[in-house]
Structure 1
């Protein structure tokens, strides 16, 4: 039985996407402005990065207080945002914040890869309650997700290095969540074939 506290379905996505949408809105409003703080000029992107870090930390804290738990993905994301966002502000260089999604997806892909090599299903520990699959189903899903994460890392690098900051911000705000949604929609067949939900119901009767 899970120790996670029950919350309304809309609360979690609002807390997870709220800081990202706030960053997007703030960037759009401030992208053409330059702010002088302590004798140093900072772009609107840097200023919004400075605002995004505590906003994400606050939303993560609220989510933890409401649910009683955080996933490894949420914790790692917060840590990397603090590290790379901090470097962006300290060095006044937006490239560090743009590299953050690359590091996140490489780490997630590497963790899944290690799990596959060790025949351990790390993904099932996170999603096992909402997506009951058999062992083969988890292996297939984790392999596909590992490739997907590495693909997102490559896409992020290509976009921030070759396209404008506006394009990268739109990609980060809308492209990445949409890509994640489409990925899981594409796995519906796999989930249906390898679901153990019916078997669990039959065993309970």
Structure 2
């Protein structure tokens, strides 16, 4: 049976198709680069220099992304704003709790935004994914529930870790814990995405109406 595509999804897909896309390798480098440098600088010089480098790194990645695509995805922008705010507080007040708390607030915001918008009949996840996948609205709703709850799980997990381990262990968790968990969760969504995927020929046919 053919999956139904609403005008909202088609418009979003058309807009996404018109944007320049980052090379996948460069996109991964921009996402991982600041985190890896954060880890290295923390291991050598401590959390406060590492926080300053992280702040500079997120600004650099946004600049590179804008220079290439003339478009800034929502999640990196929100992440960068929170890194700058809580990173600034961390350095100014010399209190490492702020940069740790940033992770909890960031994922709580993502979870609340996704599920809150869904409650009012809006789908934010296609924007978050920058239309990298093409599935029906039913699929987006199911995926939104899963990602929203997963973000709340990460927020809660970060709260547990930051309260009971040292700063160096927390940095390891942030770099080598959250990322693998997120990758594993994303991979686990493949069956759902495949069940609700919109075939390319169906998209082409819809575009002629």
**What is the TM-score of this pair, normalised by structure 1?**
0.88
Match of 1:58 among 57, 60, 83: 60
Q: What residue is the counterpart of 2:28 in the other structure?
A: 13
Q: Which 4+ runs in 1 deviate beyond 6 A? A: none
Aligned residues: 192
Q: What residue is the counterpart of 2:93 in the other structure?
A: 91
Q: What residue is the counterpart of 1:119 in the other structure?
A: 121
The answer on whether the counterparts of 1:3 and 1:68 sit within 8 Å (CA) in structure 2 is no
| Mapped partners of 2:64, 2:204: distance in 1 | 38
Give, in angstroms, the shift of residue 203 of structure 1: 2.6
Q: Please list, as runs of the form range in 1=range in 2, the aligned pairs for 1:184-199 lying within 5 A after superposition.
A: 184-198=186-200
Larger displacement relative to structure 2 (100-109 or 193-202): 193-202
Give, in angstroms, the shift of residue 125 of structure 1: 2.7
| Mapped partners of 2:79, 2:183: distance in 1 | 18
Question: Relative to 1, partners in 2 of residues 1:17 and 1:171: Cα closer, same or farther, differing over 3 Å?
Answer: same
Q: What residue is the counterpart of 1:200 in the other structure?
A: 202
1:93 aligns to what SS in structure 2?
coil
Q: More relative contact order in 1 or in 2 (CA 8 Å, sep 6+)?
A: 2
| Mapped partners of 2:21, 2:95: distance in 1 | 41
Match of 2:44 among 20, 29, 32: 29
| Mapped partners of 1:198, 1:65: distance in 2 | 30
Q: What residue is the counterpart of 2:19 in the other structure?
A: 4
2:131 aligns to what SS in structure 1?
coil
CA RMSD of superposed structures (Å): 1.7
**What is the TM-score of this pair, normalised by structure 2?**
0.86
Question: Relative to 1, partners in 2 of residues 1:202 and 1:61: Cα closer, same or farther, differing over 3 Å?
Answer: closer
Question: Relative to 1, partners in 2 of residues 1:128 and 1:173: Cα closer, same or farther, differing over 3 Å?
Answer: closer
Give, in angstroms, the shift of residue 48 of structure 1: 1.4
In the TM superposition, what whole-angstrom CA distance separates every residue of 1:27-57 from its partner, at most 9, and x where no partner exists? 1122xxxxxxxxxxxxx21121122211221
The answer on whether the counterparts of 2:55 and 2:83 sit within 8 Å (CA) in structure 1 is yes
